[in-house]
Amino acid sequence: MADPRVKKLANILVNHSLGVKRGETVLIASSSELAKPLVVEVFREVMEAGGNPLTSVSFEETQNVFYDKADAAQLRNFPKVKDYEAKAIDCFVSIRAPINKKSLSGVDPKKISERSKVLRPIGETIVNKKRWVLCNYPTNALAQEGDMSLAEYEDFLYGATNVDWARVKREEMKLKRTLDKGREVRIVGEDTDLRVGIKGRRAIPCFGLRNMPDGEVFLSPVEDSAEGYIYYEMPAIYQSREVTGIRLRFRKGKVVEASADKNEKFLISMLDTDRGGRYLGELGVGVNYGIREFSKDILFDEKIGGTVHLAVGRSYEEAGGKNKSAIHWDMIKDLRKGGALYVDGRCIQRNGRFLI
């Protein structure tokens, strides 16, 4: 018998996130066979909605075989069938269920990069032209990454996903209205006092239509506005590198001082990727109070209720952002113990709890 929490998540993905309609074709893709229980329940929900489900299950072993055996022509081969599939579907459910998160660690990064460039048009078709949602299925690999047992990770995941998303939307709209009217956000916390301009920028509420779990309101700050300093208690992970104890100082929007307790050279090299790497591309406010622990998975961590995250690098055009960069690196600031969030001098959050 299926875990009732799996059935509820499947219902949320199909009926809330995607809103599947009769006659629509829905691709259900899983990164491993471990997600079978969720794949089956999503398949069932699509059928009950009158849709036409397709399934695609990957195997980590075949990826390793591919990169081990592929010659130049095979790396450059464009999968026309997958391209046709991406263009033909109406909706896409992507389920991450890793067996081993380090399975590609021995592969030449140049091969992965080259293959990614070949596959990019397919991904862009799905992301830009189709309705899609991304979620995790509990596996030992994900649990280990978050320093949890599998049972603990299951509780963690379903506690974050199986919530009343209509209520979350209502709460997010209050925050959106406040931010849309605002000129400046001030973030205060441990070793932190940072001001960021937001005048004219549009806040985007996120309530489960793309990511699951969800629960954030984000915008792209005015590019030359950031003034002050910030300390990140939580590790910042990028390209599988973990950087801890990050401290940044901003002047006229730009990071002018940067340090870290661990992997400082990597931090600075990423900031120096290009001209936009030292400017902010995003300010996000986490509102999912079902997520309490840091799990080393940005899909969850940036939504922790009582935190904010600021990304250096590429901004979002939909939120009015203009910063261009090859990087977009989210860093999470915890405000739950002694922190505060102000909009135009008015305190809207203290110790991680909203006052609006």
Task: Identify the pLDDT of residue 110.
Answer: 80
Q: Are residues 182 and 220 in the same domain?
A: yes
Q: Are residues 346 and 201 in the same domain?
A: yes
Residue 212, beta-bridge partner list: 135
Q: Are residues 44 and 73 in the same domain?
A: yes
Q: Are residues 131 and 191 in the same domain?
A: no
Q: Are residues 151 and 198 in the same domain?
A: no
DSSP conformation class of 100: -
Token representation of residue 319: 């939120």
| Cα separation, 182 vs 202, whole angstroms | 10
CA angle centred on 98, ends 93 and 104, rounded to 5°: 115
Is the distance from CB of 42 to CB of 93 less than 8 angstroms? yes
- Please report where in the chains the tokens 């030292």 appear, as a residue: 278
Task: Identify the pLDDT of residue 1.
Answer: 63
Domain that holds residue 197: 165-354
Residue 304, beta-bridge partner list: 288
Given a cut of 70, the residues of the chain with pLDDT beneath it are: 1
Residue ending a domain, among 140, 161, 182, is 161
Q: Are residues 195 and 305 in the same domain?
A: yes
Task: Identify the pLDDT of residue 345.
Answer: 96
* Residue among 273, 275, 272 at smallest CA distance from 258: 272
Q: Are residues 51 and 182 in the same domain?
A: no
| 316: Cβ contacts below 8 Å, ≥ 6 apart | 204, 218, 219, 220, 281, 282
| 275: Cβ contacts below 8 Å, ≥ 6 apart | 324, 325
Is the distance from CB of 12 to CB of 165 less than 8 angstroms? yes
Q: Is 225 strand, coil or helix?
A: coil
φ and ψ at residue 323, rounded to 5 degrees: -75, 130
| 111: Cβ contacts below 8 Å, ≥ 6 apart | 67, 70, 75
Domain tally, the chain = 2
The secondary structure of 152-199 as a DSSP string is HHHHHHHHHHSS-HHHHHHHHHHHHHHHHH-SEEEEEETTEEEEEE-T
Task: Identify the pLDDT of residue 273.
Answer: 86
| Cα separation, 176 vs 352, whole angstroms | 17
Token representation of residue 204: 């985007």
Residue ending a domain, among 135, 161, 187, is 161
Task: Identify the pLDDT of residue 228.
Answer: 98
Residue ending a domain, among 161, 187, 221, is 161
Q: Are residues 176 and 66 in the same domain?
A: no
> Within its chain, how far is the Cα of 73 from the centroid?
33
| 198: Cβ contacts below 8 Å, ≥ 6 apart | 179, 182, 183, 184, 185, 219, 221, 222, 225, 283
Q: Are residues 131 and 215 in the same domain?
A: no
Q: Are residues 109 and 250 in the same domain?
A: no
CATH of the domain at 43: 3.40.1830.10
Q: Are residues 156 and 173 in the same domain?
A: no
Instruction: Give the pairing type, strands 52-57 and 91-96.
Output: unpaired
Q: Are residues 239 and 205 in the same domain?
A: yes
